[in-house]
Amino acid sequence: MDRDGHRYTFGIGENYHAQDFLGAHEGTSDGVEGYYFRVWAPHAEQVSIIGDFTGWYDAPLPLERHISGIWEGFSPHARQGQIYKVLVQRHGGQVLEKIDPFARLLEKRPSTGAILQKSTPKKWQDSLWLGRRKRFGFKSRPINIYEVHTGSWKTDESGNPYTFERLQEELIPYLVDMNYTHVELLPVMAHPLGKSWGYQLMGYFALEPTYGSPEAFQDFVEACHLHNIGVIVDWVPGHFTQNDDALAYYDGTPTFEYQDPDRATNVGWGSLNFDLGKNQVQSFLISSILYWIEHFHLDGIRVDAVTNMLYRDFDQGPWTPNCYGDNRNLEGIAFLQKMTQVVKSYHPEVLWMAEESSFELPITKPVDQGGLGFDYKWNMGWMNDILRFYEMDPIDRKHAFELVTFSFMYCFKEHYLLSFSHDEVVHGKKSMMHKMWGDRYHQFSGLRNLYAYQIFHPGKKLLFMGGEFGQFLEWKSHQQLEWQDLEDSLNHKMQVFTRQLNQFYKDHRALWQIDDDYQGLDIIDADNKDESVLSFARQTDKGELLIGMFNMTPVERQNFTIGVPVSGLYEEVLNTELEGYGGTWIKGNPPQKTTPNSWKHYQQTLTLTLPALGASIWKLKRRGR
């Protein structure tokens, strides 16, 4: 595409690789090598480049304005590795140093200069992984995600976050050992404050330099793929940091943000909302996400805070209705639909997930059916209900049993991911283990029960780091996980349990092959409130069958009987109360044959001992005749 084509498509919201034109690029002018600089600042009075090659303020490089609002200039003195900034004389006369919005490499904070780079394509070695991803897709495959905050999984001897080189050495072997299928990273794009966890972005094309170079991140993703681990990254297209040296009011007028100050200002998060109806912003954001997918071979994207883009009244501040008199953000809805269609047209095999908490719009239905076109939606309702239930005293659970059963009424309304994310273990919410009822022994029993229920319930899975070994303290983003907890026997056994549960999930097709239809689910008994026992089955299209029973009280149920859909010999394949996991059972239940008997609408029954506050999962080993 030539310059005019780039400018035109950027202006109509259809330049989906705008970083190939805007920003800084190597080139020649009249046979002289140097760098071209292009900045979109439509209402600026003047735009210049300052940097190492201009002596900074000694001889700024003035750019020329095009009718498109894009300023352009060429420097024969600019060289790879040099630092530069954009000097904007804003509408009204104020002069500010700003970041290059399309910069792919920034200085470490608190500095914000961009660093000139040459484009050197990586010779990737993950073609086998990409081929399998394209061939098999993800809907009928296991997805069990380990969510990681890059800055606090582990820190080095000086307390600094691991770089991607170090994470490649230690995190990837840990993921393999723990039998996860994917790792999801909180935003790794450049952000000005670590305390934001990366959710107030500054660089939409730049890796956070605290974690290393873009090449190091490419190598990390490649190494994950070579070890059969998918990589998912969080991304924030709804709002951005309000720091004055970043995108905020770039040319002195609302540029990336809404014209209406009430819509532009995100009071609750102290940030600014993108004007999602502006064509140039659409080009900017869609280019950003395609860049991350393509340049880093990512396997999935989780779009953060989708609800903020769907409704005008999501925030705490004042709001005005749309032209129809309601609270829908029509521009936001249209942009999300457009974005999903574009991303899926380029990369249908990449996971596209939404963090969204309302039920008014079909998030995972195709756009042509009125949906937003995402592949998965985080099931926030299930998460809130289930955590509330497991925090209860067991004596009260029979009065709130619908908290663990209600999800079966809607679990296929959307394509869901079941998440216990970072948001649930901060701000006084307590860690996953600390949420559980009872003394330390019962807390671990409850946690094993909960994780088994999550794995057995329809939907893809996610667990935030530290939860796998039952860290007691809630997550602190400024220090590493409490790895010393693993010196405690119960924490160590909890880690062993999670490792084996993850492998159990991968090994049993019934838990993921039919994950979006009632054909893969049979609710056996959701009415046993008095004993607080839930039982249901998962099955494959070939008739492979698993029966799961979840005892929500610390009372062992001997001679416990349920109906089962198929006669035959069943064997217990998972018991959360085994001694090796931190429980008291030396060995599990012996295999059991079904008994012809009428039980609800079933004609066969299975009798066993159900462990106190435990989960017991059985597999049909041999069908009856």
Nearest to 170 by CA among 214, 130, 161, 479: 161
| 3-class SS of residue 372 | coil
Q: For residue 617, which phi and psi values (nearest 5 degrees)?
A: -120, 130
CA atoms within 13 A on the CB side of 60: 16
Is 294 an annotated catalytic residue?
A: no
Task: Convert 379-414 into a string of H (helix), E (strand) and C (coil).
Answer: CHHHHHHHHHHHCCCHHHHHHHCHHHHHHHHCCCCC
- Which letter does DSSP use for residue 567 in this model? -
315 is annotated as an active-site residue: no
Q: What is the 3-state secondary structure (H, E, C) of 129-162?
A: HHHHHHHHCCCCCCCEEEEECCCCCCECCCCCEC
Contact 469, 498 (CB under 8 A): yes
What phi, psi does 522 have (nearest 5°)?
Answer: -135, 110
271: Cα within 13 Å, side-chain hemisphere: 25
The answer to whether 184 touches 234, Cβ cutoff 8 Å, is yes
How does DSSP assign 417-432, residue by residue? Answer: EEEE-GGGGSTTS--H
299, 355, 385, 572: the active-site residue: 355
User: Is 24 within 8 Å of 116 (Cβ atoms)?
Assistant: yes
Distance CA(112)–CA(255), nearest Å, equals 20
**The pair of three-digit structure tokens given for residue 470, joined into one six-digit string:** 């039952």
8 A C-beta contact, residue 589 and residue 619:
no
State the distance between the two ends of the chain, measured CA to CA, in whole angstroms.
68
Q: Is 427 left (phi over 0), alpha (psi -120 to 50) or beta?
A: left
How is 301-368 classified by DSSP, letter by letter?
EEE--THHHHBTTSSSS-----TTSSSB-HHHHHHHHHHHHHHHHH-TTSEEEE----SSS-SSS-GG
27 forms beta bridges with: 34
If we measure between CA atoms, which residue out of 126, 178, 169 comes closest to residue 147? Answer: 178
Catalytic residue selected from 304, 331, 375, 385: 304
Catalytic residues: 304, 355
